[in-house]
Each structure stands twice: as C-alpha cells, then as structure tokens.
Amino acid sequence: MEKDLKQNPRSMKWERNGELASKDLSDLIDRLKNVENECNSSELSRLSTKSDNID
C-alpha cells in the first residue's frame, strides 16, 4: 500500500513536525475554496494567506 501512495500524485506529503507540507496545504485550500460556500471560502482564503506567510 505504501508503494501505491508514492505513485499517487494526489497523496499528500507530511513534514517531520506533523504539519502538512506547505505546497500540499496550499493546494488543499485552493481545492476546498472551489467547492465551499462563500462564507467558508472567505475563511479558507484567510487561512491561505496565513499559510503563505509561514513559508
């Protein structure tokens, strides 16, 4: 199964500290913004800005 995850381009990378890799976090937020309602999408945008500042 681990082999399948490495080949799957949609699998996410986790850092040693337990955080989602910044690129994967950004991609996840962008995908969620596309399917969430306007209120949630605004909050996701705020989180996206916060995650961008961490990089």
* Residue 21 contacts residue 12 (beta carbons within 8 Å): yes
Segment holding 17, helix H or strand E: none
* Residue indicated by tokens 């596309």: 34
* Residue 55 contacts residue 43 (beta carbons within 8 Å): no
Predicted confidence (pLDDT) per residue in 14-36, tens digit: 889 988 888 888 888 888 888 88
* Residue indicated by tokens 């890799």: 21
Cα atoms found within 13 Å of the Cα of residue 34, Cβ hemisphere only? 6
Q: How confident is the model at residue 1 (pLDDT cuts 50, 70, 90)?
A: very low
Q: Is residue 2's pLDDT more than 80?
A: no
Q: Is residue 5's pLDDT more than 50?
A: no
Average of pLDDT values for 30-53? 79
